[in-house]
Amino acid sequence: MASEPHHVVIVGAGFGGLATARVLGNSPVRVTLVDRRNYHLFQPLLYQVATAVLSPSDIAEPIRRILSRYKNITVLMGEVTGIATEQREIQFAGRVLRYDTLVLATGATHSYFGHSEWERFAPGLKTLEDARRIRANILLALERAELETDPEVRRRLMTFAVIGGGPTGVEMAGSIAGLTHEALEREFRNIDPRRARILLVEAGSRILPQFPEDLSAYAERALVRLGVEISVGAPVNDINADGIQVGETFIPCGTIVWGAGVRASPVGDWLSRETDRAGHVSVNPDLSVPGFENIYVIGDAALAKDDKGTPLPGLAQVAQQQGYYLGRALLRRITKGEEPPPFRFHSRGNLAVIGRNAAVVEWNDVKLRGFLAWLVWGIAHVYLLVGFQNRLIVTLRWLYAYLTYRPGTRIIPDDRGGEAMAKPNEPRGT
Amino acid sequence: MASEPHHVVIVGAGFGGLATARVLGNSPVRVTLVDRRNYHLFQPLLYQVATAVLSPSDIAEPIRRILSRYKNITVLMGEVTGIATEQREIQFAGRVLRYDTLVLATGATHSYFGHSEWERFAPGLKTLEDARRIRANILLALERAELETDPEVRRRLMTFAVIGGGPTGVEMAGSIAGLTHEALEREFRNIDPRRARILLVEAGSRILPQFPEDLSAYAERALVRLGVEISVGAPVNDINADGIQVGETFIPCGTIVWGAGVRASPVGDWLSRETDRAGHVSVNPDLSVPGFENIYVIGDAALAKDDKGTPLPGLAQVAQQQGYYLGRALLRRITKGEEPPPFRFHSRGNLAVIGRNAAVVEWNDVKLRGFLAWLVWGIAHVYLLVGFQNRLIVTLRWLYAYLTYRPGTRIIPDDRGGEAMAKPNEPRGT
> In percent, how much of chain B has pLDDT > 70?
96
Average pLDDT rounded to a whole number, residues B391-409:
85
> In percent, how much of chain A has pLDDT > 90?
80
Q: How far is A144 from chain B (nearest CA, A)?
A: 8
pTM (2 d.p.): 0.92
Do residue A55 and residue B60 have CB atoms under 8 angstroms apart? no
At B127, which amino acid appears?
T
What are the pLDDT digits (tens) for B29-48? 999 999 999 999 999 999 99
Do residue A55 and residue B56 have CB atoms under 8 angstroms apart? yes
Strands A101-104 and B281-282 come out as: unpaired
Mutation target for B interface from A189, A388, A399: give the one with most B CBs within 10 A.
Answer: A189
The angle, 0 to 180 degrees and rounded to 10, between the axes of the packed helices B128-147 and B414-422 is 30
Helices (H) and strands (E) in chain A, counts: 12, 24
Contact A38, B139 (CB under 8 A): yes
Do residue B406 and residue A65 have CB atoms under 8 angstroms apart? yes
At A299, which amino acid appears?
G
Is residue A417 scored above 70 in pLDDT? no
Do residue B389 and residue A411 have CB atoms under 8 angstroms apart? no
Q: What per-residue confidence (pLDDT) applies to A407? A: 80
**DSSP single-letter state for residue B408:** S
Q: What per-residue confidence (pLDDT) applies to B30? A: 97
Is residue A82 scored above 90 in pLDDT? yes
Is residue A104 scored above 70 in pLDDT? yes
Is residue A37 scored above 80 in pLDDT? yes
**E-strand stretches of B222-329:** 228-232, 236-240, 243-246, 249-252, 255-258, 262-264, 281-282, 295-297, 302-303
Q: What per-residue confidence (pLDDT) applies to A416? A: 53
Do residue B37 and residue A64 have CB atoms under 8 angstroms apart? no
What are the pLDDT digits (tens) for A94-103? 899 999 999 9
Q: What per-residue confidence (pLDDT) applies to B179? A: 93
Name the average pLDDT for chain A.
92
Average pLDDT rounded to a whole number, residues A188-212:
96
At residue B424, the 3 state secondary structure works out as coil
CA distance B170 to B358: 11
B171 is catalytic: yes
Average pLDDT rounded to a whole number, residues B283-302:
96
Q: What per-residue confidence (pLDDT) applies to B388? A: 81
At A285, which amino acid appears?
P
At residue A366, the 3 state secondary structure works out as strand
What are the pLDDT digits (tens) for B71-92? 999 999 999 999 999 999 999 9
Contact B175, B160 (CB under 8 A): no
Residues of chain B contacting A56 with CB distance shorter than 8 Å: 55, 411, 413
Q: What per-residue confidence (pLDDT) applies to B407? A: 80
Do residue A139 and residue B38 have CB atoms under 8 angstroms apart? yes
CA angle A109, A113, A115 (to 5 degrees): 100
**DSSP single-letter state for residue A179:** I
What are the pLDDT digits (tens) for B171-191? 999 999 999 998 888 899 999
Q: What per-residue confidence (pLDDT) applies to B424? A: 38
Q: What per-residue confidence (pLDDT) applies to A235? A: 94
Q: How far is B73 from chain A (nearest CA, A)?
A: 8
Q: How far is B368 from chain A (nearest CA, A)?
A: 32
What are the pLDDT digits (tens) for A118-136? 999 999 999 999 999 999 9
- CATH fold, domain A7-36+78-110+262-336, is FAD/NAD(P)-binding domain (3.50.50)
Nearest to residue B332, comparing CAs of B88, B101, B90, B67? B101
Average pLDDT rounded to a whole number, residues A9-14:
98
Nearest to residue B120, comparing CAs of B253, B259, B258, B260? B258
Is residue B425 scored above 80 in pLDDT? no
CA distance B28 to B19: 17
> Please, where in chain A does CATH 3.50.50.60 lie?
7-36+78-110+262-336
CA distance B113 to B131: 21
Contact A394, A54 (CB under 8 A): yes
Mutation target for A interface from B55, B80, B406: give the one with most A CBs within 10 A.
Answer: B55
CA distance A234 to A245: 10
Among the options B171, B202, B220, B362, which is catalytic?
A: B171
| Nearest residue on chain A to B55, alpha-carbon basis | A57
Residues of chain B contacting A424 with CB distance shorter than 8 Å: 93-94
Contact A208, A166 (CB under 8 A): yes
Do residue A77 and residue B143 have CB atoms under 8 angstroms apart? yes
> Based on C-alpha coordinates, what's the Rg of chain B?
22
A42-74: burial string, b at 16+ Cβ within 10 Å, e else: bbbbbbbbbbbbbbbbbbbbbbbbbbbebebbb
CA distance B37 to B429: 22
CA distance B57 to A400: 15
Q: What per-residue confidence (pLDDT) applies to B167? A: 94
Is residue A146 scored above 50 in pLDDT? yes
B189: nearest CB among A74, A146, A400: A74
The lowest-confidence range among A342-351, B251-260, B399-408 is: B399-408
Is residue B363 scored above 80 in pLDDT? yes
Q: What per-residue confidence (pLDDT) applies to B427? A: 40
Structural class in CATH, domain A116-260+356-422: alpha beta
Left (φ > 0), alpha (ψ -120 to 50) or beta: where does B219 sit?
alpha
Residue B73: partners with Cβ closer than 8 Å, 6 or more residues away: B21, B24, B25, B31, B32, B33, B67
Helices (H) and strands (E) in chain B, counts: 12, 24
Give the DSSP H/E element, type plus range, for residue A294. Answer: none
Do residue B62 and residue A411 have CB atoms under 8 angstroms apart? yes
Q: Which residue has the higher pLDDT, A69 or A183?
A: A69
Residue B183: partners with Cβ closer than 8 Å, 6 or more residues away: B401, B405, B406, B407
Q: How far is B311 from chain A (nearest CA, A)?
A: 31
What is the CA B263 to chain-centroid distance, rounded? Answer: 12
Is residue A414 scored above 90 in pLDDT? no
CA dihedral B406, B407, B408, B414 (to 10 degrees): -120
Is residue B105 scored above 60 in pLDDT? yes
B385 confidence band (pLDDT: 50, 70, 90): confident
CA distance A364 to B124: 56
What are the pLDDT digits (tens) for A365-405? 899 999 999 999 999 899 888 888 888 888 888 888 888 88
Contact A298, A267 (CB under 8 A): no
Nearest to residue A327, comparing CAs of A39, A76, A73? A73
Is residue A429 scored above 80 in pLDDT? no
Q: What per-residue confidence (pLDDT) applies to A424? A: 38
ipTM: 0.91
**E-strand stretches of A146-286:** 159-163, 197-202, 228-232, 236-240, 243-246, 249-252, 255-258, 262-264, 281-282
A129: nearest CB among B39, B409, B413: B413
3-state secondary structure A215-247: HHHHHHHHHHHCCEEEEECCCEEEEECCEEEEC
> Please, where in chain B does CATH 3.50.50.100 lie?
116-260+356-422
Residues of chain B contacting A410 with CB distance shorter than 8 Å: 38-39, 57, 62, 65
> In percent, how much of chain A has pLDDT > 70?
96
CA distance B34 to B32: 6
CA distance A322 to B375: 49
Mutation target for A interface from B57, B142, B143: give the one with most A CBs within 10 A.
Answer: B57
Q: How far is B309 from chain A (nearest CA, A)?
A: 37
> In percent, how much of chain B has pLDDT > 90?
80
Do residue B187 and residue A76 have CB atoms under 8 angstroms apart? no
CA distance B190 to A77: 13
A408: nearest CB among B57, B69, B418: B57
**E-strand stretches of B93-248:** 95-98, 101-104, 108-110, 159-163, 197-202, 228-232, 236-240, 243-246
CA distance B141 to B39: 30
The lowest-confidence range among A46-50, B205-209, B407-411 is: B407-411
What are the pLDDT digits (tens) for A279-334? 999 999 999 999 999 999 999 999 999 989 999 999 999 999 999 999 999 999 99
